[in-house]
Chain A
Amino acid sequence: MTPPVLEVRGITKRFPGVLANDKVNLILRKGQVLGLLGENGAGKSTLMNMIYGLYKPDEGEILVNGAPVDIAGPKDAIELGIGMVHQHFQLVDVLTVTENVMLGNETVSGPFLRRDTARREIQQLSQEYGLDVDPDALISDLPVGIQQRVEIIKALYRQADILILDEPTAVLTPQETLGLFKIMRALLDRGVSIIFISHKLKEVLEICDDVIVLRRGAVAGQADPKESTEQSLASLMVGRDVILEVDKAEAKPGDEILNVVNLHVHDDRGLPAVEGLNFGLQRGEILGVAGVQGNGQTELVEALTGMRAVEDGRIFIKGVDMAGASPRNVTELGVGHVPEDRQRDGLVGGFTVMRNLVLCTYYQDAFANSIVVDDRAIADNARQLVQQYDVRPPIINNIASGLSGGNQQKVIVAREFSRDADLLIASQPTRGLDVGSIEFIHRQIIRMRDAGAGILLVSSELDEVLSLADRVAVMFEGEIIDILPIAEADRDTVGLRMAGVREQGLDSEMNTVGATGGQCLRDP
């Protein structure tokens, strides 16, 4: 066993009204990956922020290479060789990769920046670890996967040998995650030790040498990944048995609630993103939309919910053509929407939980007369929903942006699901959430379905689509290239469709287009 490089002993941290960390101990050994598991709000990020010097612990001590250290700020942590990739990237959008990497640790000659020296070093690191980052690119032009690599380079540039990755895979596509693992293995080979925070049990089992589970701020247990299963880790994390499989009855499809005909939508740059979609959705069924991100799913959902202009085509909801209608019209027709980017489209970050819970209904009779809103009714509504949907902490006057991602999502789900919508459009509803929350949201989706709502589930997590959906539509380059009943949708087939491979056995492109096109039009 290699010697410990980082040790945390009896760390306690209190915030007003919350015990965020309670006598936490952990040991990270040289060249190993320590997995840190826990639900949203279990205190993982708080603990890491203390190691990185952003918070000061109230009690306990931190040892680096066996010696107790006092970390007063990030500067001290950096000097001790600790690097951290935050959950929300700490990158300045308008600066280049080089500038971001050198910031705070600039190479200079006299008063002037020496960008070339830093650039060379970045290129070298980039090559050594297979990071493939262009040092002159602007951060705002880079996809998140690459931005994450820039964060890793930032740490390596400062000679970090202890690397904290705070939920690095939450924002990544499955392919990008594989890339990250490759990079992590290269780092381990060169003696870097890593703390890996994640919700995804499969990933933790795959990459970690040791696992610590936090629950409500305290260490709930330690596990050896070689002897653990997803089931055992999930139970440890939540504190009870968790059903990872979704338990649902056969769908009982009813009337058609959504019918999309020849839909064309453009993306932000004005280029075609959705090109001639045709599909229908019935009450009481879940239509899963699978596909690698960026194949038009975002634009499709935005067009359906009135957030994006429709270039051509029709969207019949309950038989009414809603193409080009306003979001409020769509909402009032009985459509619930769980948006992909919860912070941008789902919540008003600066508002309280209570107000966020009535964002689509505040003007209606239940919450307002003609002029003033009825704060008491809004508060009552909020108290009930917060209980029912298990938002933590259950304080309705909290500012939404202060909640953890999982709890923000619960607020949105509570708002959209409590309106008894007939059509629910959920985009990446469980991104970045822990198993407990995922289980909860999945059960709510099934409940809505069984109550007779039609559900359009867009997700880039193939597992999620396959376990929830009754039919699976695969989007590729703005088109639905296949719609499969769930019985025929096995991982391999859907995976192939997601990669753009159409009907097997047909070589001619024309035939393929004809076949899928016909199927889409006549479906079901």
Chain B
Amino acid sequence: MSLASKAKSGRRLAFKLTRKRVIAVVLLALGAFIFIESGRLDSELVTTLTFEPRPTGERPAVADMPVQTSSYLLVIGLLFIVSGALNLYDFQLARWRRISLALLALCGALFIPTVIIAAAAGNDTNLTTIVAESLRLATPLAIGAFAGIWCERAGVVNIAIEGMMLFAACFGFTTLFFLRGTPLPLETAQLLAVVIGVLAGGLIALLHGWLSITFRTDQIVSGTVINILAVGVTSFVRREYLLSTEAGAAKLGNFAIPILSDLPLVGEAIFTNQPIFFMMFVMLAFTHIVMFYTRWGLRTRAVGEHPHAADTLGINVNRTRWINVFISGMIAGLAGAWFSLEATGSFNDGMTRGAGFIALAAMIFGKWTPIGAFGAALLFGFSDSLGIRLQMVGVGFPVQFLQMVPYAVTLVVLAGFIGRASPPKAVGQPYMKE
């Protein structure tokens, strides 16, 4: 009886819209689109991928790579269609399932190069510059996301990253502005300015902690209060003290990392750079190591997941949260200092332009892990740099569309490969001893 009924229930299994199938459908559509578009492209068009900035005529150390645009797109289109079709079918054989998944991964990996090649059809495009530019633009997003991780891993929501950044950008720059008249050397003044920015972020975080930990205010409300406060206070400070400085101050200078900066290609583009850019990598390693390899990190994660369990083991939940929120604020301050001190050398109203929220999105995309958040921030940085690049090259249709594509793809890929992101369980809940 049981055998027969098993077979019957198997037959009745309806076609289920699984996550993988959704991706497969998207891939199919995308593949078809690329395939059709490739036919409409002029077959003479060639995209030349270059790797090194150089004066014209000189022989590059790494050879350029000409890609015949229409045939490349034709192949990619077919690949997308095939892998989409394969993934629609639920293979019983493990080997076939592995093959179809590998194809899916390949499509994901090839996506960004495809966007670059398609966008720059008929032109040169410098890959090294794109990578370096993506990294640079990802800096505040990545550091902001690390700030979020410190806070949320301990169970405190931090939507105030934006406000903390703005405060830091403002007070960091104000410090530099007032130090200009003193005999302090520029480097020292700049260093002090960054430190003040970082402390400003930490100070605002203390307000967040005071409201949401001590008084158990809703953490979203507390964060919103800080974001609104930041807009008001910083524009007031600018109007009162900084208006005369619209011309701006000197940006943070470049550093060359010994040895690494002598490497071909990346030496100049990546390893000769500004200090906060390098701090991004330091913070990445720092956050990752502290969270997953130290006593403090273990306790932080326990407090964010199950504070009562931590309490029964003698861990002071609220103290742990306080310290994490403060550290989070200082890291957000560093990200804020990037805007006024490293990127522009000036301060404008609302100059962080929502980067704090994108950082939050990067944190969530990265599933509250530093490495994941860094990857997500890079993707957003790439999207930004692509937009800038395309505007310069001047493509035939609104750049906003191409700029949108990486985000859309991220959503689909994340939904498909990584699954639902689950935050620390106790995030947002104030802890009260019974």
Q: A residues touching B (Cβ–Cβ < 8 Å)?
A: 52, 54-55, 73-75, 78, 84, 86, 90-95, 99-100, 102-106, 108, 111-113, 154, 262, 264, 272, 275-276, 311-312, 479, 513-514, 517
Tell me whether B310 and A112 are in contact (CB under 8 A).
no
Q: Given the complex of chains A and B, what is the CA–CA distance between A78 and B313 in angstroms?
A: 8
Tell me whether A104 and B313 are in contact (CB under 8 A).
yes
3 smallest CB-CB distances across A and B, nearest first, come from A104-B313, A75-B314, A90-B309
Q: Given the complex of chains A and B, what is the CA–CA distance between A263 and B295 in angstroms?
A: 51
Knowing A111-B294, A311-B13, A513-B1 are in contact, say whether A95-B301 is a contact too (CB < 8 A). yes
Q: Which of B2, B296, B302, B312 contacts A111 (CB 8 A)?
A: B296
Tell me whether A276 and B296 are in contact (CB under 8 A).
no
The verdict on B306 contacting chain A, using a C-beta distance below 8 Å, is: yes
Separation in Å of the B425 CB from the closest CB of chain A?
A: 7
Contact partners of A52 in chain B: CB under 8 A:
312
Bits for B126-141, please: 1 = Cβ < 8 Å to A, else 0: 0000000000000000
Tell me whether B312 and A84 are in contact (CB under 8 A).
yes
Contact partners of B314 in chain A: CB under 8 A:
73-75, 78, 104
List 13 A-B pairs, Cβ < 8 Å.
A54-B434, A55-B434, A92-B301, A92-B310, A102-B298, A103-B310, A104-B299, A111-B294, A111-B296, A264-B5, A276-B1, A276-B5, A513-B2
Q: Given the complex of chains A and B, what is the CA–CA distance between A299 and B6 in angstroms?
A: 17
Bits for B60-79, please: 1 = Cβ < 8 Å to A, else 0: 00000000000000000000
Q: Given the complex of chains A and B, what is the CA–CA distance between A102 and B301 in angstroms?
A: 13
Separation in Å of the A343 CB from the closest CB of chain B?
A: 15
Q: Given the complex of chains A and B, what is the CA–CA distance between A7 and B312 in angstroms?
A: 21
Knowing A75-B314, A91-B309, A104-B313 are in contact, say whether A275-B5 is a contact too (CB < 8 A). yes
Name the CB-closest residue of B to A99: B298
Q: Given the complex of chains A and B, what is the CA–CA distance between A444 and B308 in angstroms?
A: 37
Contact partners of B294 in chain A: CB under 8 A:
108, 111-113
Tell me whether A74 and B312 are in contact (CB under 8 A).
yes
Q: Which of A55, A78, A108, A262 contacts B295 (CB 8 A)?
A: A108
By secondary structure, the B interface counts as helix
Q: Which of B2, B293, B295, B302 contacts A92 (CB 8 A)?
A: B302
Knowing A55-B434, A275-B5, A479-B2 are in contact, say whether A90-B298 is a contact too (CB < 8 A). no
Q: Which of B9, B311, B313 contacts A105 (CB 8 A)?
A: B313
Contact partners of B315 in chain A: CB under 8 A:
103-104
Q: Which of A94, A104, A105, A262 contacts B301 (CB 8 A)?
A: A94
Name the CB-closest residue of A to B13: A311
Within 8 A of A (CB), among B1-47: 1-2, 5-6, 8-9, 12-13
Separation in Å of the B55 CB from the closest CB of chain A?
A: 50
Residue among B9, B12, B312, B425 facing the most chain A CB atoms (10 A cut-off): B312
Tell me whether B302 and A311 are in contact (CB under 8 A).
no
Q: Which of A92, A104, A262, A272 contacts B305 (CB 8 A)?
A: A92
Separation in Å of the B28 CB from the closest CB of chain A?
A: 24
Q: Given the complex of chains A and B, what is the CA–CA distance between A435 and B313 in angstroms?
A: 33
Contact partners of A272 in chain B: CB under 8 A:
6, 9
Tell me whether A106 and B295 are in contact (CB under 8 A).
yes
Name the CB-closest residue of A to B292: A113
Knowing A106-B295, A113-B294 are in contact, say whether A90-B306 is a contact too (CB < 8 A). yes
Separation in Å of the B196 CB from the closest CB of chain A?
A: 28
Q: Given the complex of chains A and B, what is the CA–CA distance between A308 and B301 in angstroms?
A: 34
Residue among B294, B295, B302, B315 facing the most chain A CB atoms (10 A cut-off): B295
Contact partners of A106 in chain B: CB under 8 A:
295, 298
Separation in Å of the B310 CB from the closest CB of chain A?
A: 7
Name the CB-closest residue of A to B290: A111
Using A74-B312, A312-B8 as known contacts, list a sample of 11 further A-B pairs with CB atoms less than 8 Å apart, ordered by residue number in A: A52-B312, A54-B312, A54-B433, A93-B425, A94-B425, A95-B301, A113-B294, A113-B298, A275-B9, A276-B1, A312-B5
Q: Which of A55, A92, A102 contacts B309 (CB 8 A)?
A: A92
Contact partners of A111 in chain B: CB under 8 A:
294-296
Separation in Å of the A139 CB from the closest CB of chain B?
A: 10
Q: Which of B1, B295, B310 contacts A517 (CB 8 A)?
A: B1
Contact partners of B5 in chain A: CB under 8 A:
262, 264, 275-276, 312
Tell me whether B2 and A95 are in contact (CB under 8 A).
no
Separation in Å of the A299 CB from the closest CB of chain B?
A: 13
Separation in Å of the A155 CB from the closest CB of chain B?
A: 11
Name the CB-closest residue of B to A105: B313
Name the CB-closest residue of A to B303: A92
Q: Given the complex of chains A and B, what is the CA–CA distance between A137 and B301 in angstroms?
A: 17
Name the CB-closest residue of A to B3: A513
Residue among B2, B299, B308, B313 facing the most chain A CB atoms (10 A cut-off): B313
Contact partners of B425 in chain A: CB under 8 A:
93-94
Tell me whether A311 and B313 are in contact (CB under 8 A).
no
Contact partners of A108 in chain B: CB under 8 A:
294-295
Tell me whether B305 and A93 are in contact (CB under 8 A).
yes
Q: Given the complex of chains A and B, what is the CA–CA distance between A160 and B142 in angstroms?
A: 45
Contact partners of B311 in chain A: CB under 8 A:
54, 74
Knowing A90-B312, A91-B309, A104-B315 are in contact, say whether A311-B9 is a contact too (CB < 8 A). yes
Contact partners of A99 in chain B: CB under 8 A:
298
Q: Given the complex of chains A and B, what is the CA–CA distance between A113 and B295 in angstroms?
A: 6
Name the CB-closest residue of A to B313: A104
